[in-house]
Structure 1
Amino acid sequence: MALLNGLLPQADIPAPLHDALAEAGERLHDALAMADRVAAAKAGDDESAQDDMPSAAWQALAEPRRAELARVVALSDFATETLARDPSWLPALDADGELDAPPSREALEAELAERLDGAEDEAAMQAAVRRFRRLRMLGIVWRDLCRAPRGQAGEAGMWATARAVSELAEICLEGALGWLERHYAPRWGTPAPRGDGSPQRLVVLGMGKLGAGELNLSSDIDLIFAYAEDGETQGGRRELSHQEYFTKLGQKLIAALDAVTDEGFAFRVDMRLRPLGDGGPLVGSFATLASYYQDQGREWERYAMLKARPVAGDREAGDELLAALRPFVYRKYLDFGAIESLREMKRLINREVKRKGMADNIKLGPGGIREVEFVVQAFQLIRGGRDTELQLTSLAAALHCLATLELLPPEVTETLRVDYAFLRDLEHALQAQKDRQTQTLPDTVLGRERLALALDMEDWPALVARLEEARGRVREHFDAVIAPPEEEDAAVACEDASREELGALWRLELTDEEARETLDSLGFATPAAAHERLGKLWQSRAVASMQRIGFARLDALMPLLLDAVAESEAPDMALERVLPLIEAVLRRTAYLALLRENPDALRQLIRLCAASPWIAEQLARHPVLLDELLHPATLYSPADKEQLADELRQALSRIPADDEEAQLEALRIFKHAQVLHVAASDIVGARPLMKVSDYLTFIAEVVLEQVLAMAWTHVTRKYGYPARRDGERTSDDASFAIVGYGKLGGIELGYGSDLDLVFLHDADPRGSTDGAKSLDNAVFFTRLGQRIIHLLTAVTPSGSLYEVDMRLRPSGNAGLLVTTLEAFADYQRQQAWTWEHQALVRARAIAGNPALCERFEALRRDVLGQTREVEALREEVVAMRRKMRTHLGSSDQAGRQGVFHLKQDPGGMVDIEFLCQYAVLALGAETPEMLTFSDNMRILETLESVGRLPADQARELREAYLTYRGLSHRASLAKAGSQVEIADIDAHRQRVRAIWAQWMQEDDASR
């Protein structure tokens, strides 16, 4: 008993563990005595061989280390057996500091390599790997059981334990694989190089917790084997196909770790996650794997591939393979269909748990480890294609990312992190006892007391209470994310008709009379027409040809959609507008799942479609915008320019810098989404008219800035950088500016407005670029302008960014696409028509070199501020206005019928705009304040402030202009024309006509 008295103080060990500690002490005592006798016999010292005291190395253990020893042997039979089997390991680990901190990866790799160098056959290799693993696991278990009490440090310790086990598995895999490659090279040869000349090795993908770098203490390792290219081996006794060679090598690698020998096993290997599982080939080529996942890959395999990571062999080639498989794992759109797959997996797990009575399983049971993983991986599957930051193998990193992206509240991710760490700690303590893969709580007093001590809990009841709290919180968050929506929102249930009845209505199972009665009870004004419309969809070829899972999603959605439609003020109109969207996404059923899984998003969809056919059309044309319905808080709150720029930066930062196509697609989605936000806020009246135009203009400005940057990168990559006037060349100075005219320049963009643009540059007109393909500066900037127009107008499945009108540049379509600032200034001063100076009033520098933009603004003020002959100016403005009314306004017959064209008819918007432009040109020379602004509202305010326009007239013009623009916005959203009933705006029309007649001295009768 000397060992117990000298080395294993029992003061901190609970009474129920004393017997276990005593038994462990006896075993260690016997092992040490045997080791001493063997050592003495080898030394010929018979007296020492009879000594009953522990070895000197063990006696030299410091007192704190002895207390740790007592804790470890009381809690872990694995550690006790290992120390009894190899007593020399404890002093060695203590001397190397491995009981306190893990060795470096490099040190571990070097040690295993040294052990394997002496292995002459497979048996020796396997023994070396197993002893290396057992020694390292002793250190890992020791550190895990003796680390700081659970809490913040404890959570960090749990992740450190998982990381250490994962690293150990990778080192063993790589060491064994390298030994096998060398050992069998004389017999099997080596694989032929790839087409690019690079050597080929087996690619070992770690799946599950190994791929995540978060293995538990006694975990299987899930692997997939692959190789890059087919061929035959070279240099062996006989040639083998790569398929045969890598299969043989893979079989040997599995045995190297998994086979049970006198030394035990290293790691249990599970290969069932490979294509076709146990029935499929052990190894597949990259081409075979890519074809399988593309054509046959199942939803659960997407889930499995989330954590795939190269862990041994050719890791660079492994990264290449995973990059090719990424589109299979992560969809470009929001994939809410993944939730149903996770639900099905969870249902299967629940049935197994129930069948086997595994409620005490802390991994698979309610509120267990797997439910935390499902919560995180649900977001990764759904959003990982869009939010590429979520393409992570580590659960810990993904949890942090969910909070950063605001997909889950920080308090939720923090709770999940803490509870997950507690559950994993508990799992580690269970597995440390016997080095067995178990997650089931013990039913013996000894087992329970061991767990309580390992988790630093007062006793078993205290541990159970803590566990129940953690599992309860996990289950709550799991249900919030994974549970079917009808379980979480009872409001989805139909009020006027049961869900079954609506389902029968949708599936045409009701008689015509029953269907009409049901639709009538739901508030449809024309139930027969609605029934007919639903029937056309049900009987359409598109629905008939849907795959089973897609049809199931549609069938589950339609009763919910009908119920949501019935809640709208005009169900007939809402149904008519929303069904084209449903038809548009029948082949992309993840959108059906999105609406099915998010009742709030479905209600927002119906609300917006009922209010605006334009929005309904946009959503049908760009279903990716349905994502925006998930966030009502931001849907009705457009971002300001700074936020827009930041959001766009973040979206583009997820895309490789050289992938212009993907960047452009992201730009289009961004633009459409932000315009949808503005329209939604406009519909609900959350934003005044001026703000609506401001936001639409901000969107265009941010897009133009990014398009310019993309175009500049593209052309400078091909042609180099142009020479500036001072002879310098800098990569960040384009000497280029985009000027906005019309509604863009006047900060008055509407829905669907095109962009009136002029391009200017200020580089050396006689210079050239410095690239391998040098161009004259003039040609270079023309190419730049063409590239900008292409990026803005190119049509893809996501539509285009904007229509562009370049006719306001000097000399119009006959002029140069890009003009130097000098030439632009000369044209404006010497050749420009009055109408071109009118257009310049509404011009504004939008993007480009800041100094050039400032010079343009100065030039604009100078040109507009020229002294003009007022009478001649008035006549030219009036003549132009008459021409516009003749060609663009309503006919006399239409006018007599009481129809008014908001823009072009007398007293309309253009009258107000021409008044402002005339005032700036007529008064700018003597009233410089008039030259500041490009928008009509502030020009009117300036006219009033400088005393040039009576306050009542200024107010009346502003009110009329806002009314007209408001009606124009509403007409756009309603897909109506620009004509309204005169009676609705007659007072405004009359006042504008009167003020026009007064200012422009045009007889109203002549208009």
Structure 2
Amino acid sequence: MQVPQQARENLTSVNLGLPSKAPCPPAQAHPDVRRVIEGFDAARGGAAPAGEQGDILAVLAIFAAYSPYLSTLAQRDPAALAQIVAQGPAAFLDALWPSLTPAATAGLALDALMRRLRQAKAQVALATAVGDLTAGWPLLQTTRALSHFAGLALRAATAHVLREAAAKGELTLADAADPESRCGLIVLAMGKLGAGELNYSSDIDLIVFYDDDVIRATGKRTPSELFVRLTKTLVKIIQERTADGYVFRVDLRLRPDPGAMPIALSTDIAENYYQSLGQNWERAAMIKALPLAGDIEAGHDFLQRIRPFVWRKHLDFAAVRDIQRMKEKIRDHHGHGDIGVEGHDVKLGPGGIREVEFFVQIQQLISGGRDPALRQPATLAMLDHLAAIGRLPPADHDTLIAGYCFLRHLEHRLQMVEDAQTHRLPEAPEAVAQIGRFMGYGDATVFRADLLGHLAAIQRRFTALFAADDTADPTDRPPGLPRDEAAMAERLAAAGFKEPGKAALIVTGWRIGRYRCFRHERARVLVEGIAPVLMAALARTGEPDSALVRLDQFLSRLPAGVQLFSLLDANRALLDLLAEIMGSAPLLAETLSRRPGLLDSVVGGEALRPITRPEPLRRELDTALCDVTDYQDVLDSVRRWTADRRFAVGIQLLRGLIDHAAAGQALTLIADSVIERLLATVSQAFQAAHGRIPGGGFAVLGFGKLGGRELTVTSDLDLVFIFSVPDGTVGSDGAKPLTPGLYYTRLGQRLIAAMSALTAEGSLYEVDMALRPAGSKGPLVSTLKGFGDYYQGEAWTWEHLALTRARVVGADGAAFADQAAALLDRIKRLPRDAARVRGDIAAMRGRMDKDRPARDRWDLKLCPGGLVDIEFIVQSLMLVTSAKQPAPLPTETAAMIARLLAQGRLDAAQAGLLDEALRLAAGLSALLRLTAGDPFVPDQASDRLKTLLARQAGVADFAALTATLDRLQPAVRALFATLVGDPASTYVQGSGAGTGALEPSGGLNDDAIAR
């Protein structure tokens, strides 16, 4: 079992506040110690050295003081204990393991095998006890040793029953030397054994399957009869008590429907059961399932087939409730009340081991379907991972780790006493004090305090999983909505609904089960309880009627409602957020209506984590694509992942968690990751048919908002494709070779289709190729040389202006990406006539004012003093000064302003004005795209939306926002006239020849210019 380094280094008993060794009472206090020493001497043929004898005496004194079971084992096999002490427990076990393999035990008869495994069990018990009690073994070293032995014992027993069946002619082995290989018999380890976390006196949970497609049954018995018999023999080998003891108690009750199903099942029957009748507790149990003996390959194949049952793509809050009910049933069955010491169950009681395990399993059930990294079976490893990905605060992580390890150490001490599968502390205070001493505590009061502290801390964090995010008094909830529609309409009218009759009709539809999500009676009961709170939340959005319509559309597309309504019933904050989305963000509401599962990202916490770096994002995308099976699956999975991430950015922007600049950076990182991945996927599929062009290179250039890292939630992608091949290249080397130009043109077409095609998961991005050389009349893909020649000769001023924001966003190799980036840098640094550039840009802006006049000041892009003015000022200055700018040249507008200020091309006042105006216009524009759409009409806007806009602008209210626009927009237009030229007079003066100079091939594309 692989354990993260962090866990390995932090789980020693010393670091948990426990001593590294149990206290050692005086040896002379225990008269049986001398008898054991004499047994050692007899077994060795002489007395042990004084130092070694002292170590043995110390170990025996601990055994005699605290564990009759260990004392008995030492008296039975004093030579083994002597070896353990002399070699060290770890070295002793390393030497023991090879003797227990199926190959090593192949020649043993049934009785001899049972005896060998039981003797080994006693030796493992002694060695792990010595390691735990005297060598300060970390918890995981102890549990791994116990689990490893269980795996070896099961493999030896499984190999034996398979050989026996083959000898009787009941089945044919694929490999007589390795009976388990391709045998079709699967021994699935569950629970702590599956996770490699066995406790000291643990039983082992197993499920036994056989694969009808793999087994080679040859006898008269049916496969079911044969494998039931083999399973009974297997259990006998492991569990039956003999004069030598037993190996492990075996529990087979985790199999499907244990009251009706045989103890060995075919995988087909099991798969049908799980996919149709499987329960949530069985999903939780399968998290720790591990093929441990028999046909390991067939076992993994079976787990792969039932993965959709265990790991659901969307959040399953009903499963979380089931976990909670499981905990409540355990509490009720065992009579656990408050946290205590005497008689407390450290596994099942409040604050116990099971609560830590449930804490982890809940996170796995919630999000493991979408994040395969959450599918690890080991509790401590999962706690480490939850902390690493931000799902568990560091303080909570440390608390749960410390508490879990403390209780597992305590569990081991309780079980070492008599080898009993117990988790209860003694009822008598003195017996509790004795256990405390066994734990290394000289003061029983300190032991009790530490124990109670760990239990309370675990209970608080476990209970918090089910606590509502708000602290509102349930009695503060509004009364239920009237059943009578007229009375309900009257209530809704008083709440602020402008069409209360229509609203009441919608709610009535919910009550009668109009949609699938209301068909279950439990769903209707739940929505009846949350309806008044939900309607009140919608009323607070300022546009309750439209919000209710959007919510109704959302609910109409839900396949089921119990999970969502259960969550909303317990989580007022999420209910308010859902109402805010429906009332204030039509774009997010529409997205959510198409993909209700996106709400998972809000509840799971992903939607609230800022996106700031490319590497984690690429890893997330890799994770999302780890299960894909074909090209179409890649396209659908990328669309789902992108929708999740863009929705998350929208939520953060709506709630004011990030500003427009951070949103633009995040959306750009998402787009960059998608382009990189799709380019790789498309290239791989294309090469399968047409091969590669040796030495060829292909790159994707991003222009506009993509190039400037300023994407909004509605932005399309401005792309340009370039390629290069060595001189003399004829074509590709595949089965269907293509010439270089045709090869890269078709590759570009495939990439565009991969990004823009409508699939079952919707579209990804609109792709605009209008900024390529020569526009729509030019080739789809330009050569590297042709691209450079075009910008050095034929390109118009507006095309050079657009080039200031160009950057490489994807390439089929780092070397060609560097070539393309170097070419862009050279073109940007070409010497230019500053007067001509200013004149062309001023005239171009004048033409836009005439042909595409702004609607009003809220047309934040095109209005005088708006975003286009800001960008043209900055880009024109960069264009004429790039030759003297240090590398790298920025592509973001804000970064350009900072660079121009640092280079003295803008003074502080000018840079301050542009920066303030950019933040205001871009921030408002990003929020309006998310909320009001286009156009924004203030007189028709709700007070809620105006408040959001004022918050985005950082001013007190909407009136102050209007005043800020009144101040900034004219000032920016005046600065444009100063630094670039007066748009109106320049355009009039330049009409005729000058106007023609602005025309690119194929005609001027105003949308492209505005980018």
Shorter-chain TM range is 0.7 to 0.9
Aligned-pair distance for 1:599?
Answer: 3.5
Aligned-pair distance for 1:209?
Answer: 0.7
**CA shift digits 1:52-89 (9 cap, x unpaired):** xx985689861221121121123222223334445554
Aligned-pair distance for 1:918?
Answer: 8.6
Paired residues for 1:367-406 under 5 Å: 367-406=351-390
Aligned-pair distance for 1:787?
Answer: 3.2
Query: Contact (CA 8 Å) 1:205, 1:223: kept in 2 or not?
Result: yes
Paired residues for 1:422-461 under 5 Å: 422-443=406-427, 447-448=431-432, 450-458=434-442, 460-461=444-445
Larger relative contact order (Cα-Cα within 8 Å, sequence gap ≥ 6): 2
Query: Contact (CA 8 Å) 2:188, 2:291: kept in 1 or not?
Result: yes
Equivalent of 2:934 in 977, 991, 996:
977
The AA in structure 2 aligned to 1:973 is L
1:763 aligns with 2:725: yes
Paired residues for 1:553-564 under 5 Å: 554=527, 558=531, 560-562=533-535, 564=537
1:510 aligns with 2:483: yes
Partner of 2:9: none
**CA shift digits 1:194-246 (9 cap, x unpaired):** 9xx98324111100111111111211110011223347636x6x354443332
Distance verdict in 2 for CA 1:343–1:11, change over 3 Å: closer
Partner of 2:585: 612
1:287 aligns with 2:299: no
Distance verdict in 2 for CA 1:13–1:843, change over 3 Å: closer
Query: Contact (CA 8 Å) 1:116, 1:125: kept in 2 or not?
Result: yes
The AA in structure 2 aligned to 1:587 is A
Paired residues for 1:323-334 under 5 Å: 323-334=304-315
Once residues 535 and 910 of structure 1 are traced to their aligned partners in structure 2, the CA distance between those partners, rounded to angstroms, is 49
Aligned-pair distance for 1:112?
Answer: 6.4
The AA in structure 1 aligned to 2:235 is I
Once residues 233 and 66 of structure 2 are traced to their aligned partners in structure 1, the CA distance between those partners, rounded to angstroms, is 35
Aligned-pair distance for 1:375?
Answer: 1.0
Query: Contact (CA 8 Å) 1:204, 1:313: kept in 2 or not?
Result: yes
Distance verdict in 2 for CA 1:124–1:722, change over 3 Å: same
Once residues 797 and 224 of structure 1 are traced to their aligned partners in structure 2, the CA distance between those partners, rounded to angstroms, is 38
Deviates more, 1:517-526 or 1:368-377: 517-526
TM-score (norm 2): 0.79
Aligned-pair distance for 1:290?
Answer: 2.2
Is the partner of 2:123 in helix, strand or coil?
Answer: helix
Partner of 1:416: 400
Aligned-pair distance for 1:280?
Answer: 0.9
Query: Contact (CA 8 Å) 1:865, 1:928: kept in 2 or not?
Result: no
1:792 aligns with 2:755: yes
Once residues 907 and 432 of structure 2 are traced to their aligned partners in structure 1, the CA distance between those partners, rounded to angstroms, is 89
Query: Contact (CA 8 Å) 1:766, 1:776: kept in 2 or not?
Result: no
Partner of 1:4: none
Distance verdict in 2 for CA 1:538–1:853, change over 3 Å: farther
TM-score (norm 1): 0.79
Distance verdict in 2 for CA 1:588–1:796, change over 3 Å: farther
Partner of 1:3: none
Once residues 178 and 64 of structure 1 are traced to their aligned partners in structure 2, the CA distance between those partners, rounded to angstroms, is 39
Equivalent of 2:617 in 647, 667, 670:
647
Once residues 864 and 402 of structure 2 are traced to their aligned partners in structure 1, the CA distance between those partners, rounded to angstroms, is 70
Structure 1 unaligned blocks of 5 or more: 1-9, 40-53, 725-733
Query: Contact (CA 8 Å) 2:436, 2:444: kept in 1 or not?
Result: yes
Once residues 525 and 625 of structure 1 are traced to their aligned partners in structure 2, the CA distance between those partners, rounded to angstroms, is 30
The AA in structure 2 aligned to 1:223 is L
1:79 aligns with 2:70: yes
Paired residues for 1:828-977 under 5 Å: 828=791, 840=803, 843-848=806-811, 849-858=816-825, 860-861=827-828, 865=832, 877=844, 881=848, 968-977=925-934
Query: Contact (CA 8 Å) 1:564, 1:606: kept in 2 or not?
Result: yes
Structure 2 unaligned blocks of 5 or more: 1-21, 940-958, 996-1011
Once residues 938 and 135 of structure 1 are traced to their aligned partners in structure 2, the CA distance between those partners, rounded to angstroms, is 69
The AA in structure 2 aligned to 1:800 is S
Aligned-pair distance for 1:169?
Answer: 1.3
Aligned-pair distance for 1:329?
Answer: 1.4
Is the partner of 2:168 in helix, strand or coil?
Answer: helix
Query: Contact (CA 8 Å) 1:608, 1:615: kept in 2 or not?
Result: yes
Distance verdict in 2 for CA 1:657–1:272, change over 3 Å: closer
Deviates more, 1:331-340 or 1:961-970: 961-970
Once residues 335 and 563 of structure 1 are traced to their aligned partners in structure 2, the CA distance between those partners, rounded to angstroms, is 26
Is the partner of 1:247 in helix, strand or coil?
Answer: helix
Once residues 866 and 830 of structure 1 are traced to their aligned partners in structure 2, the CA distance between those partners, rounded to angstroms, is 14
**CA shift digits 1:399-442 (9 cap, x unpaired):** 21121122111221222122212212222112112212111222
Distance verdict in 2 for CA 1:756–1:309, change over 3 Å: same
Once residues 449 and 909 of structure 2 are traced to their aligned partners in structure 1, the CA distance between those partners, rounded to angstroms, is 75
Is the partner of 2:515 in helix, strand or coil?
Answer: helix
C-alpha RMSD of the superposition:
4.8
Once residues 470 and 999 of structure 1 are traced to their aligned partners in structure 2, the CA distance between those partners, rounded to angstroms, is 77
Once residues 115 and 645 of structure 1 are traced to their aligned partners in structure 2, the CA distance between those partners, rounded to angstroms, is 48
The AA in structure 2 aligned to 1:491 is A
Distance verdict in 2 for CA 1:753–1:271, change over 3 Å: same
Larger radius of gyration: 1
Distance verdict in 2 for CA 1:566–1:959, change over 3 Å: closer
Once residues 361 and 561 of structure 2 are traced to their aligned partners in structure 1, the CA distance between those partners, rounded to angstroms, is 21
Once residues 26 and 472 of structure 2 are traced to their aligned partners in structure 1, the CA distance between those partners, rounded to angstroms, is 53
Distance verdict in 2 for CA 1:137–1:741, change over 3 Å: closer
Distance verdict in 2 for CA 1:870–1:178, change over 3 Å: closer
Deviates more, 1:223-232 or 1:979-988: 979-988
Query: Percentage identity across aligned positions?
Result: 32
Aligned-pair distance for 1:820?
Answer: 0.3
Once residues 992 and 940 of structure 1 are traced to their aligned partners in structure 2, the CA distance between those partners, rounded to angstroms, is 16
Aligned-pair distance for 1:826?
Answer: 4.2
Aligned-pair distance for 1:981?
Answer: 8.0
Aligned-pair distance for 1:909?
Answer: 6.4
Aligned-pair distance for 1:303?
Answer: 0.8
Deviates more, 1:853-862 or 1:464-473: 853-862
Aligned-pair distance for 1:618?
Answer: 2.4
Query: Contact (CA 8 Å) 1:865, 1:925: kept in 2 or not?
Result: no
Query: Contact (CA 8 Å) 2:67, 2:417: kept in 1 or not?
Result: yes
Partner of 2:203: 220
Query: Contact (CA 8 Å) 1:758, 1:809: kept in 2 or not?
Result: yes
The AA in structure 2 aligned to 1:138 is L
Distance verdict in 2 for CA 1:217–1:305, change over 3 Å: same
Partner of 1:809: 772
Aligned-pair distance for 1:613?
Answer: 1.6
**CA shift digits 1:606-653 (9 cap, x unpaired):** 334332222222233333432443488x8678544xx14433334425
Partner of 2:10: none
**CA shift digits 1:556-604 (9 cap, x unpaired):** 6545534544555554454444343344334375454554554333333
User: How many residues align structurally?
Assistant: 927
Once residues 868 and 624 of structure 2 are traced to their aligned partners in structure 1, the CA distance between those partners, rounded to angstroms, is 44
Distance verdict in 2 for CA 1:871–1:786, change over 3 Å: closer
Deviates more, 1:108-117 or 1:321-330: 108-117
Once residues 119 and 863 of structure 1 are traced to their aligned partners in structure 2, the CA distance between those partners, rounded to angstroms, is 85
Once residues 882 and 280 of structure 2 are traced to their aligned partners in structure 1, the CA distance between those partners, rounded to angstroms, is 71
Once residues 494 and 228 of structure 1 are traced to their aligned partners in structure 2, the CA distance between those partners, rounded to angstroms, is 56
Once residues 683 and 990 of structure 2 are traced to their aligned partners in structure 1, the CA distance between those partners, rounded to angstroms, is 52
Is the partner of 1:311 in helix, strand or coil?
Answer: strand
Paired residues for 1:701-712 under 5 Å: 701-712=672-683
Distance verdict in 2 for CA 1:479–1:932, change over 3 Å: closer
Partner of 1:64: 55
Query: Contact (CA 8 Å) 2:842, 2:983: kept in 1 or not?
Result: no
Partner of 2:144: 163
Paired residues for 1:171-320 under 5 Å: 171-191=152-172, 199-230=182-213, 233=216, 238-320=219-301
Once residues 915 and 461 of structure 1 are traced to their aligned partners in structure 2, the CA distance between those partners, rounded to angstroms, is 75
Query: Contact (CA 8 Å) 1:834, 1:877: kept in 2 or not?
Result: no
